[in-house]
């Protein structure tokens, strides 16, 4: 089993919502900036959103106002709430854990938005 375990992907119609989850251990989660990236077929992997251990968030322009990243420190889990989904959001979404000592990736979860 991987160190970052993603769930919540699937098929949804345009305008719908999905919530992605990424669970890990306390040792990885606590001192770490957690992030979500995505990679569409034939394209590079791009940052979607990050959240620091202190709760500060960043988003790419394309998802700001539609996506919300959050973290539950008691559950060692980071979430990505995705609303108003568009076909352009179709991609494999990857969870990432990064600090001065490591940079860890999950295996990814497929999100498909139909028009």
**Cβ contact 33:56 at 8 Å:** no
Instruction: State the alpha helices, DSSP H only, in 4-94.
Output: 26-29
CA distance 29 to 31: 6
Q: Residue 103: which of 42, 20, 59, 45 has the closest Cα?
A: 45
Report pLDDT for 26.
Answer: 87
**Percent of the chain residues topping a pLDDT of 70:** 98
3-state secondary structure of 87: helix
Looking only at Cα atoms, what is the longest distance across the chain? 42
Predicted confidence (pLDDT) per residue in 65-113, tens digit: 999 999 999 999 999 999 999 999 999 999 999 989 999 999 999 999 9
Report pLDDT for 30.
Answer: 85
Sheet order of strands, 77-82 included: 5-7, 18-23, 77-82, 67-72
Report pLDDT for 96.
Answer: 97
**Cβ contact 69:80 at 8 Å:** yes
Asked if residue 1 has pLDDT above 70, the reply is: no
CA distance 76 to 4: 10
Output the six-digit token pair for 70: 């959050």
Report pLDDT for 47.
Answer: 97
């Amino acid at each position: 089993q991987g160190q970052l375990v993603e769930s919540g992907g699937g098929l949804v119609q345009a305008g719908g919502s999905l919530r992605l989850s990424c669970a890990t251990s306390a040792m990885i989660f606590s001192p770490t900036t957690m992030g979500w990236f995505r990679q569409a077929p034939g394209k590079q992997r791009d940052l979607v959103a990050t959240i620091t251990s202190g709760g500060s968030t960043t988003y790419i322009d394309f998802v700001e106002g539609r996506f919300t990243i959050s973290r539950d420190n008691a559950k060692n889990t980071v979430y990505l709430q995705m609303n108003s989904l568009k076909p352009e959001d179709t991609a494999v979404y990857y969870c990432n854990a990064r600090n001065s000592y490591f940079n860890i990736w999950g295996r990814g979860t497929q999100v498909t938005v139909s028009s």
